[in-house]
C-alpha cells in the first residue's frame, strides 16, 4: 500500500477494532483509552503529519529478506514461548492467584473505590501513573522543542477577513460543532469525576477535553482558537498538572508518611484515599488535556507557517 | 492445546506484522504506523492474559464473584500513554526531517548524508 | 527526612522540571537546574553512605507493601549507579550555560533544561526502582527526553540520528515490555525481589526462556552492544555537546545496570548463564565490539564520532567483564562503569569547549590547538591516556581488574585480546595528539584563545578525578567489590 492516507486510516481502524476487542476482554477502561488514543488522537496526528510530509510512499528498493528473517526468528521464538503459557481464560493461571486477588478482594476496604482499575492505578501503583503523567509531559516538551516556531504577529484584520471568508464554508458543520462542544466538555467532566465508579478517569477525560478544543480549532481556524487559548498559558497548565500530582505526594512526605500515601490527607484513611485519587486524577486530566492541545497546536501551527512561507515564495 | 493458546498466536502474528513494517519499510511515517501496530499488539497480549473465563469487568458490584484481572489493565493504560507519546515525538521528528531534507524516505536521507561527509 | 531519601532522589529532579516553566530568564533556569542536580548528587552520596553502613534500603511507595505496591530498593549496586549519574550530571551542567548559548537557539533554552532534568530523573528512576514495570515507565521518560535533546543539535543529521534512535529505542523498550509481560504471566508479580523468588519454580518453562531472551535483546539494543550499536555514533556526534557529554557518561551505563539487574537479581545467576550460552555469546560479541569499534574509530574524521565509536568499544570491555561471571569480573565491569563515566564526560566536555571556540570537531580543524587551547587539549590527552589504560589513570585500574578476572578464569587468550584492544586505542588517541600538537595552526585562526573558565573548571574537575581515582582506588574498588559480592551473595 503506497498511499499513506489509506495506511493511516487502516491503522485507525485497527485501533478501533482492538478497542472493541478490549471491551470483550472486560478491559473497559483500556478500551476507552485505546478508542480515544489509537483511533482518535494518534490518527489525527498522523493525518496532520502527512499533510506536511506528502502522502505517497516511494516504491521500496529495499531488501526485505533480512527483515523477513529477523521477523520470522522473533515470531517463532514468541510462538515457542507461548507453548507453556497458561491457557487463555483459565482462572488457574498464576496471575490470578498472586497479587491480583488482594486488589479484587480488599480494595473496597482499603481504598473504597468500586472501580478496581482506578484503585490500582491511582493508589496501589500510583507511582507508575505519576511516571505516565511525566511521560506525557515529556512528549509535550519534546514536541515543543522540535516544532514550536516563533510566530510572526499577523494583522488582526487579516485574520478577521480570513475568518469571514471561511465562515461561509462548513456552515452546517460549524453550527453542529458549536452545539456539540459544550456537551463534549460536559462529558469530559463527567468522565473525569466518575472514574471512581465506572470506566474513565483523568487520562480519558483529558483526551476528550482536548478533542473538544481541537475540534473547535479545526472548524474555526487555528488563529481564532489561539486567541481563545493562550499558548504559554497552556504550557503552564501542563506543568501544573504534574506539580499537582507531585505535591500530593510531597504532602504525604511532609506528614511523615511515604510518598503518595493518601491516608494522611484526611482524618479517615478512606476519605483520604478518595481525596488523593480525586486530586491526582485532576492532575492527570490537566496535563493530558494541555499536552494534547500543545501537540496538536504545534503540528498545525507548523503547517500554517509552511503554507505561509510557500505563499510568500510564490508571490 | 490448540484452543487454549490460539489467542496468543494471533497476537504474535499481529506483532510480527507491525515489527516487519518497522524494519522493512523506508518511509518514516510508515515506520511509525508499524511501531504503533507493534505496540498495540503487545497491549492485546497483556489484556488477553487478564481475561478469566466467565469473569466480568473489574468494577465491583453486587452479586458478581468472578472478575477479570485488573492489574494488566492498569499496566496497559500506562503503556498506551507511553505509546502515544512516542508516536507524537516520532511524527514531530518526521516533520522536521521533511523540512530539513525534503524527503521522508530513508534512502534519500542516507544519500544526502553521504554527500555531506 | 532521611528515611525518604530514596524517593527524593528521583522526585527532586522530576518536580524541578515542570517548575522550570515558571522561570523566565535562561540564566535563572540554569541555576535552578544546577541546584536540583546538585541536590540529587548530595542525596545519592548520603544514600551510598547509608547503604554501605546498614545494607539494603527498602522504600514502599504510597505506603503499600510490595508486591502490591511499587517499592524502591537501594542496595550497593543502585547506590553506586545513582552516584555516578547524579555526579556526572551536576559537573556537566556547570558548563551548560556557556555551551548551549552558542549551540541552541535562545527560545529553546528552558525546554533544554526541562528535558535534561527529565532525562536525569528518568535514569535515576530506572536505577532506584525495584519494580519491573516501573523500569519500563522510567525508561521511556529518559528515552523520550533523550530523543528530543539529541534532535536539538544544530546539524540536520541530528534529526535523522534522533529518529533512528527513537525507532531502535522503542523496539528495545517494546521487547522489554514483552519480556516483562511473560514473566508476569508465569509468576503473577512485577516486583523484582518477588520475581526472583518465584521464577525458579517455573524456570524450566519455555515461556520464561523466551521472556529472558526478549529482555536481554531489548536491553542490549539500549546498551548499544555490537552489532546493535548502529544508532549510537550518530546520536552522540550530532547532539548538542553538553548532551553528548551527559549521555556518553550515563545512558549506556543505565542499560548495563539493567542487564546486571535482570540477569543477576531477577532471573538469578544459575538460570541466566545456563538457559542461553550467554557467557560464550557475550565474550564473542564483547571482543568483536572492542575490535570493530576501535578500528572504526581510527578511521573517523569527526572527533565526536571517534570517541563515540570508542564508547562502543568500552561497552565491549564491560560486557567481557560481565560474561566472566565471577566476583572479580563483575567488579571489573562496575569499576569500568565508574571510570568510563569519568573519562568520557571529561573528553566530551573538552570537545564541547573546542566547539565553543572553533565551532567544529573535524579532526582537520584541530591543527595547532595544542598551543592555542593548552588546558583543553591537555585534558583530552589525559582522558585519552585513561582510555588506553595507562597506569596512574582510572583506565588502568579497570583494565587491571578485567585482566585479572579473565586470567583467574584461565581465559588467557581473552586477556591477550583485551590488551591488543588497548593498543588500538593508542592509535586513535595518537591521531588527535599528532594533529593538535605537531601541526601548525590553520592560517587566519591565530586569535583562538583558551576556553573560558566555565568550561575549564568542570573539565579539570573530571580530569583530576581521573587521576585521583587512578591512584587512590579505595573508594571505587571498595564499593564495586561490595556491590559485586552482594549480587553473588543473593544468588549463590
User: Which pLDDT value is given to residue A29?
Assistant: 87
- Chain C environment of A78 (Cβ under 8 Å): 178, 210
Give the nearest chain C residue to A256 (CA atoms): C1
Q: Is C71 helix (H, G, I), strand (E, B) or coil?
A: strand
Largest distance between two CA atoms of chain C? 72
Q: Which alpha helices (H) appear in C152-240, and where do they start and end?
A: 157-187, 192-198, 206-223, 232-238
Query: Average pLDDT for residues A126-138, to the nearest whole number?
Result: 93
Give the nearest chain A residue to C131 (CA atoms): A128
> pLDDT digits over B43-53, tens only?
999 998 888 87
| Phi, psi (deg, nearest 5) at residue B27 | -85, 130
> pLDDT digits over A268-306, tens only?
888 888 888 889 899 999 999 999 999 988 888 887 777
Out of C21, C141, C190, the one facing A239 most closely (by C-beta) is C21
Selection from C126, C130, C42, C141 nearest residue C83 by Cα: C42
Contact C415, C372 (CB under 8 A): no
Interchain contact B117–A (C-beta under 8 A): no
> pLDDT digits over B71-114, tens only?
999 999 999 999 999 999 999 999 999 888 888 888 888 888 87
User: Which pLDDT value is given to residue C165?
Assistant: 94
Distance from CA of B42 to the nearest CA of C (A): 7
> Chains meeting B at 3+ CB pairs closer than 8 A?
A, C
Chain C stretch 3-62, residues whose beta carbon is closer than 8 A to a beta carbon of chain A: 4, 7-8, 11, 14-15, 17-19, 21-22, 59-62
HSE, CB side, 13 Å, CA atoms: give it for residue A309. 10
Whether the pLDDT of residue A152 is over 60: the answer is no
In sequence order, which residues have a C-beta less than 8 Å from that of residue A293 and are 6 or more positions away?
Answer: A210, A213, A214, A229, A234
Out of B44, B58, B99, the one facing A117 most closely (by C-beta) is B58
Interchain contact B10–A (C-beta under 8 A): no
**What predicted TM-score, i.e. pTM, was given to this entire model?**
0.93
Q: How far apart are CA C365 and CA C367, in angstroms?
A: 6
Residue with cell 521522508: B104
CA distance between the termini of chain C: 35
Question: For chain A, how are helix, strand and coil distributed in percent, rounded to 5?
Answer: 80, 0, 20
Torsion angle of alpha carbons B7, B12, B18, B22, nearest 10°? 170
B61 to A32, A68, B65, B67: CA distances (angstroms): 20, 48, 9, 10
Sign of dihedral through CA atoms A225, A230, A233, A239? positive
Out of C151, C159, C167, the one facing B22 most closely (by C-beta) is C167
A100-110 and B70-101 helices, crossing angle to 10°: 100
Q: How far apart are CA A146 and CA B90, in angstroms?
A: 10
B113 class by beta-carbon count within 10 Å (0-12 exposed, 13-18 middle, 19+ buried): middle
Burial annotation A70-109 (CB, 10 A radius, 16+ → b, else e): ebeebbebbbebbebbbebbeeebbbbebbbeebbeebee
Q: Mean pLDDT of successive 10-residue segments in chain C (492 residues)?
A: 86 92 87 94 93 89 86 91 94 91 86 94 94 94 94 89 94 94 91 89 87 92 85 90 92 92 87 80 91 92 92 92 88 92 93 88 85 90 92 90 90 89 91 88 76 90 91 87 82 38
Distance from CA of A100 to the nearest CA of B (A): 6
| Phi, psi (deg, nearest 5) at residue C70 | -95, 140
- Chain A environment of B20 (Cβ under 8 Å): 67-68, 71
Give the nearest chain B residue to A115 (CA atoms): B59
Whether the pLDDT of residue A196 is over 90: the answer is no
Distance from CA of C179 to the nearest CA of B (A): 10
Q: How far apart are CA B57 and CA B68, in angstroms?
A: 6
Q: Is C189 helix (H, G, I), strand (E, B) or coil?
A: coil
Q: How far apart are CA C389 and CA C400, in angstroms?
A: 9
In sequence order, which residues have a C-beta less than 8 Å from that of residue A30 and are 6 or more positions away?
Answer: A22, B43, B47, B73, B76, B77, B80
* Contact yes or no for B74 and A115 at CB 8 A: no
Q: How far apart are CA A23 and CA B57, in angstroms?
A: 9
Distance from CA of C144 to the nearest CA of B (A): 7
Sign of dihedral through CA atoms C102, C106, C108, C109? positive
Out of A86, A124, A134, the one facing C64 most closely (by C-beta) is A124
All cell numbers assigned to C245: 557529554
Domain map (residue ranges) of chain B:
2-52+67-116
Q: What angle do CA C105, C111, C113 make, to 5 degrees?
A: 100
Interchain contact C70–A (C-beta under 8 A): yes
> The complex's ipTM?
0.94
Out of A238, A243, A258, the one facing C61 most closely (by C-beta) is A258
A215 class by beta-carbon count within 10 Å (0-12 exposed, 13-18 middle, 19+ buried): middle
Query: Average pLDDT for residues A61-78, to the nearest whole number?
Result: 83
Looking at domain B2-52+67-116, its CATH class is mainly alpha
Q: Is C205 helix (H, G, I), strand (E, B) or coil?
A: coil
Amino acid at each position: 500500500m503506497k498511499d499513506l492516507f489509506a495506511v493511516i486510516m487502516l491503522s485507525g481502524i485497527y485501533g478501533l477494532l482492538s478497542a472493541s476487542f478490549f471491551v470483550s476482554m472486560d478491559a473497559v477502561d483500556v478500551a476507552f483509552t485505546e478508542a480515544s488514543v489509537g483511533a482518535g488522537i494518534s490518527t489525527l496526528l498522523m493525518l496532520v503529519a502527512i499533510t506536511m510530509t506528502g502522502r505517497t510512499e516511494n516504491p521500496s528498493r529495499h531488501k526485505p529478506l533480512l527483515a523477513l528473517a529477523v521477523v520470522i526468528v522473533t515470531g517463532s521464538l514468541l510462538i515457542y514461548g507461548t507453548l507453556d503459557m497458561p491457557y487463555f481464560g483459565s482462572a488457574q493461571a498464576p496471575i490470578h492467584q498472586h497479587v491480583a486477588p488482594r486488589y479484587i478482594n480488599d480494595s473496597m476496604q482499603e481504598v473504597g473505590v468500586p472501580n478496581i482499575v482506578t484503585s490500582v492505578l491511582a493508589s496501589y501503583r500510583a507511582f507508575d501513573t505519576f511516571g505516565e503523567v511525566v511521560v506525557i509531559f515529556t512528549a509535550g516538551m519534546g514536541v515543543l522543542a522540535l516544532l514550536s516556531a516563533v510566530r510572526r504577529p499577523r494583522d488582526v484584520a487579516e485574520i478577521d477577513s480570513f475568518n469571514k471568508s471561511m465562515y461561509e464554508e462548513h456552515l452546517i458543520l460549524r453550527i453542529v460543532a458549536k452545539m456539540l462542544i459544550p456537551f463534549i466538555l460536559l462529558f469530559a467532566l463527567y468522565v473525569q469525576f466518575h472514574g471512581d465508579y465506572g470506566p474513565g478517569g483523568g487520562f480519558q477525560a483529558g483526551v476528550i477535553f482536548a478533542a473538544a478544543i481541537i475540534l473547535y480549532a479545526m472548524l474555526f481556524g487555528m488563529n481564532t482558537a489561539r486567541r481563545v487559548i493562550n499558548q504559554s498559558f497552556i504550557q503552564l497548565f501542563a506543568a501544573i498538572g504534574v506539580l499537582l500530582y507531585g505535591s500530593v505526594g510531597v504532602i504525604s512526605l511532609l506528614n511523615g508518611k511515604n510518598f503518595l500515601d493518601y491516608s494522611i490527607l484526611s482524618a479517615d484513611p478512606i476519605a483520604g484515599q478518595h481525596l488523593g485519587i480525586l486530586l491526582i486524577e485532576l492532575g492527570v486530566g490537566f496535563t493530558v488535556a494541555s499536552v494534547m492541545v500543545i501537540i496538536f497546536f504545534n503540528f498545525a501551527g507548523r503547517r500554517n507557517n509552511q503554507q505561509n512561507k510557500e505563499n510568500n515564495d510564490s508571490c | 492445546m490448540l484452543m487454549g493458546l490460539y489467542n496468543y498466536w494471533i497476537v504474535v502474528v499481529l506483532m510480527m506484522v507491525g515489527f516487519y513494517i518497522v524494519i522493512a519499510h523506508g518511509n518514516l511515517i510508515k515506520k511509525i504506523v508499524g511501531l504503533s501496530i507493534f505496540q498495540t499488539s503487545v497491549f492485546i497480549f497483556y489484556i488477553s492474559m487478564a481475561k478469566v473465563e466467565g469473569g466480568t469487568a473489574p468494577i465491583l458490584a453486587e452479586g458478581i464473584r468472578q472478575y477479570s484481572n485488573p492489574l494488566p489493565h492498569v499496566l496497559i493504560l500506562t503503556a498506551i500513554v507511553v505509546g502515544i507519546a512516542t508516536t507524537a515525538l516520532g511524527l514531530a521528528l518526521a516533520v522536521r526531517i521533511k523540512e530539513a531534507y525534503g524527503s521522508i524516505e530513508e534512502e534519500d536521507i542516507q544519500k544526502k548524508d553521504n554527500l555531506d561527509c | 527526612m532521611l528515611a525518604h531519601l530514596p524517593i527524593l532522589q528521583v522526585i527532586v529532579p522530576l518536580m524541578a522540571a515542570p517548575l522550570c516553566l515558571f522561570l523566565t530568564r535562561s540564566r535563572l533556569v540554569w541555576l535552578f537546574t544546577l541546584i536540583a542536580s546538585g541536590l540529587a548528587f548530595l542525596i545519592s552520596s548520603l544514600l551510598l553512605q547509608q547503604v554501605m553502613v546498614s545494607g539494603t534500603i527498602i522504600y514502599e511507595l504510597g505506603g503499600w507493601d510490595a508486591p502490591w505496591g511499587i517499592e524502591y530498593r537501594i542496595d550497593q549496586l543502585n547506590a553506586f549507579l545513582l552516584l555516578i549519574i547524579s555526579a556526572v550530571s551536576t559537573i556537566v551542567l556547570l558548563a551548560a550555560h556557556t555551551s548551549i548559548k552558542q549551540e541552541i537557539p535562545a527560545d529553546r533554552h528552558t525546554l533544554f533544561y526541562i528535558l535534561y532534568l527529565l532525562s536525569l530523573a528518568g535514569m535515576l528512576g530506572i536505577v532506584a526502582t525495584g519494580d519491573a514495570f516501573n523500569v519500563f515507565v522510567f525508561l521511556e521518560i529518559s528515552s523520550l527526553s533523550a530523543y528530543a535533546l539529541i534532535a536539538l543539535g544544530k546539524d540536520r543529521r541530528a534529526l535523522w540520528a534522533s529518529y533512528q534512535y527513537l525507532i531502535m529505542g522503542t523496539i528495545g523498550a517494546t521487547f522489554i515490555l514483552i519480556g516483562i509481560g511473560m514473566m508476569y504471566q508465569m509468576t503473577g508479580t512485577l516486583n523484582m525481589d518477588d520475581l526472583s523468588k518465584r521464577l525458579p519454580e517455573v524456570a524450566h518453562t519455555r515461556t520464561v526462556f523466551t521472556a529472558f531472551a526478549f529482555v536481554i535483546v531489548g536491553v542490549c539494543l539500549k546498551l548499544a552492544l555490537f552489532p546493535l550499536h548502529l544508532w549510537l555514533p550518530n546520536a552522540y556526534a550530532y547532539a548538542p555537546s553538553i548532551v553528548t557529554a551527559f549521555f556518553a557518561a550515563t545512558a549506556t551505563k543505565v542499560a548495563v545496570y539493567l542487564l546486571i539487574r535482570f540477569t543477576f537479581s531477577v532471573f538469578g545467576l544459575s538460570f541466566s548463564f545456563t538457559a542461553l550460552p550467554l557467557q560464550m555469546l557475550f565474550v564473542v560479541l564483547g571482543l568483536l565490539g572492542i575490535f570493530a569499534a576501535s578500528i572504526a574509530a581510527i578511521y573517523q574524521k569527526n572527533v565526536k564520532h571517534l570517541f563515540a565509536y570508542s564508547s562502543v568499544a568500552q561497552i565491549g570491555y564491560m560486557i567481557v567483564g560481565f560474561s566472566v561471571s565471577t566476583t572479580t569480573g563483575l567488579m571489573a565491569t562496575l569499576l569500568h562503569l565508574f571510570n568510563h563515566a569519568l573519562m568520557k564526560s571529561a573528553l566530551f566536555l573538552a570537545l564541547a569547549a573546542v566547539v565553543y571556540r572553533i565551532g567544529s570537531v573535524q579532526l582537520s580543524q584541530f591543527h595547532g590547538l595544542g598551543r592555542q587551547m593548552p588546558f583543553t587539549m591537555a585534558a583530552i590527552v589525559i582522558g585519552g591516556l585513561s582510555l588506553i589504560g595507562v597506569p596512574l589513570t582510572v583506565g588502568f585500574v579497570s583494565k587491571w581488574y578485567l585482566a585479572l578476572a579473565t586470567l583467574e578464569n584461565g581465559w588467557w587468550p581473552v586477556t591477550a585480546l583485551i590488551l591488543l584492544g588497548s593498543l588500538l586505542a593508542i592509535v586513535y588517541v595518537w591521531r588527535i595528539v599528532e594533529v593538535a600538537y605537531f601541526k601548525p595552526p590553520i592560517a587566519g585562526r591565530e586569535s583562538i584563545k583558551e576556553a573560558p573558565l566555565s568550561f575549564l573548571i568542570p573539565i579539570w574537575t573530571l580530569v583530576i578525578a581521573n587521576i585521583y581515582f587512578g591512584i587512590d582506588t579505595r573508594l571505587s574498588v571498595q564499593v564495586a567489590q561490595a556491590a559485586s559480592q552482594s549480587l553473588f551473595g543473593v544468588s549463590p
